[in-house]
């Protein structure tokens, strides 16, 4: 086991996109576990849009990352040393270990995973928070019904790609909104969406008229901004808008809300935000069903794995906001 632990710490709160001044790479000795603790050697880091929000000193569903603290991140790893009765050396685990090579834990919020059942990065994709977010956001918050028309923004991203597939499995017509022909083709050809709209080259509102002539029953939104405004004009009676995220706004210096929100009145619609952590007691329910669909070949989990270690975290995070990934973005830690 290495004797050094490289970490990425938040050095300053960014305005707009994070840059080099936002981060500090530090080196510390590998921690030793105390009684009822264990040390994890991190193998994969989850790169998520929510990370940008965690950097802001504002009231939210989770406290912000403090200046000087290791950047918060969900991660996978293997137990390297243990003084904990429930975690043995060699166990594969997932948890909020942060952007570092080694993490000490008392087991809170940590789950064991089985690499024999699925490739490790899948536990950050369809079998991780990504899949669980799509599952509960669509089925519980969106109250999906068979035969409905569902639109998913960020459709080629980690959550959106799973949400659209779940909607198809539940017997719905699914239209994805993504950026670029490659992403749109992937959602239709591999994920079996009924149609895809390229927001970079098409008028979203006009395209929805053709693809959803009976209007939209459920909109699973990961993007916000202009895309949300366009879909608001095409709602069916009783439509449900699920606010999973708003990546178009995360680096904006001034957040812009939807200008077409009054369409909710005519549609008798709802717009609901949710936080997946509220469903923690039911995580296993989602994982069991998602794992079954994966095993049966009914669900595709695609991970965009970047090699480079924790030092590559700052530039890898920027890939997310540049839309360079298809599926779940993961940073491998050698």
Give the β-pairing of 38-46 and 328-332: antiparallel
- Mean pLDDT along residues 83-108: 98
Q: What percent of the chain stands above pLDDT 90? A: 95
When pLDDT is cut at 50, 70 and 90, the band that residue 253 belongs to is confident
- Mean pLDDT along residues 94-118: 96
What is the reported pLDDT for 234? 97
**Is 111 a residue whose pLDDT tops 90?**
yes
- Phi and psi torsions of 153, nearest 5°: -90, 160
When pLDDT is cut at 50, 70 and 90, the band that residue 243 belongs to is very high
Do 4-125+301-332 and 129-277 share a fold? no
Closest Cα to residue 211, out of 196, 224, 223, 222?
196
Which CATH number is 4-125+301-332 given? 3.90.180.10
Check residue 162 and give left, alpha or beta (phi > 0: left; psi -120 to 50: alpha).
alpha
pLDDT digits (tens, 9 = 90+) for 63-78: 999 999 999 999 999 9
- Mean pLDDT along residues 176-199: 98
- Mean pLDDT along residues 124-138: 97
The mean predicted confidence, pLDDT, of the chain is: 96
- Mean pLDDT along residues 318-324: 93
- Mean pLDDT along residues 273-284: 94
> Apex CA 219: angle with CA 216 and CA 224, to 5°?
125
Closest Cα to residue 228, out of 252, 209, 204?
204
Q: What percent of the chain stands above pLDDT 70? A: 100
What is the reported pLDDT for 3? 85
**Is 99 a residue whose pLDDT tops 70?**
yes
- H helices of 127-222, in order, are 129-136, 158-169, 181-189, 204-211
* CATH fold for the domain made of 129-277: Rossmann fold (3.40.50)
What is the reported pLDDT for 1? 66
**Is 188 a residue whose pLDDT tops 70?**
yes
The radius of gyration of the chain from alpha carbons, rounded to an integer in Å, stands at 20
Q: What residues have CB less than 8 Å from 213, skipping those under 6 apart? A: none
What is the reported pLDDT for 327? 95
What is the reported pLDDT for 60? 87
What is the reported pLDDT for 254? 79
- Mean pLDDT along residues 309-320: 96
Domain ranges of the chain: 4-125+301-332, 129-277
Q: Which residue has the tokens 């939209």?
A: 216
Say whether 178 sits in a helix, a strand or coil: strand
pLDDT digits (tens, 9 = 90+) for 46-67: 999 999 999 999 888 899 999 9
Residue burial 151-181, b: 16+ Cβ < 10 Å; e: rest: bbbbbbbbbbbbbbbbbbebebbbbbbbbee
Instruction: Give the DSSP per-residue string, 144-165.
Output: --TT-EEEEESTTBHHHHHHHH
- Mean pLDDT along residues 286-311: 96
């Amino acid at each position: 086991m290495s004797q050094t632990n490289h970490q990425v710490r938040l050095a300053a709160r960014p305005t707009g996109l994070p840059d080099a001044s936002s981060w500090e790479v530090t080196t510390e000795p590998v921690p030793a576990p105390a009684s009822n603790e264990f040390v994890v050697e991190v193998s994969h880091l989850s790169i998520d849009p929510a990370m940008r929000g965690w950097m802001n000193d504002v009231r939210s569903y989770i406290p912000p990352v403090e200046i000087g603290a290791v950047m918060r991140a969900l991660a996978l790893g293997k137990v390297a040393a243990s003084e904990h009765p429930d975690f043995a050396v060699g166990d594969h685990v997932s948890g909020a270990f942060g952007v570092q090579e080694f993490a000490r834990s008392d087991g809170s919020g940590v789950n064991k995973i089985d690499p024999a059942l699925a490739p490790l990065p899948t536990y950050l994709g369809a079998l991780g928070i990504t899949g669980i977010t799509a599952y509960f956001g669509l089925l519980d918050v969106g109250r999906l019904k068979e035969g409905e028309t569902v639109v998913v923004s960020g459709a080629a991203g980690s959550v959106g790609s799973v949400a659209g597939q779940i909607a198809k499995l539940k017997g719905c017509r699914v239209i994805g909104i993504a950026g670029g022909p490659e992403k749109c083709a992937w959602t239709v050809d591999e994920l079996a969406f009924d149609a895809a709209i390229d927001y970079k080259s098409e008028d979203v509102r006009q395209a929805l008229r053709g693809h959803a002539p009976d209007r939209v029953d459920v909109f699973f939104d990961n993007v916000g901004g202009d895309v949300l405004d366009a879909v608001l004009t095409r709602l069916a009676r009783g439509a449900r808008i699920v606010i999973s995220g708003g990546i178009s706004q995360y680096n904006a210096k001034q957040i812009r809300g939807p200008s077409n929100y009054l369409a909710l009145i005519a549609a008798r619609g709802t717009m609901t935000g949710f936080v997946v952590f509220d469903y923690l007691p039911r995580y296993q329910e989602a994982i069991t069903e998602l794992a079954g669909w994966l095993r049966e070949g009914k669900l595709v989990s695609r991970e965009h794995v970047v090699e480079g270690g924790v030092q590559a975290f700052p530039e890898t995070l920027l890939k997310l906001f540049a839309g360079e990934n298809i599926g779940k973005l993961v940073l491998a830690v050698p």
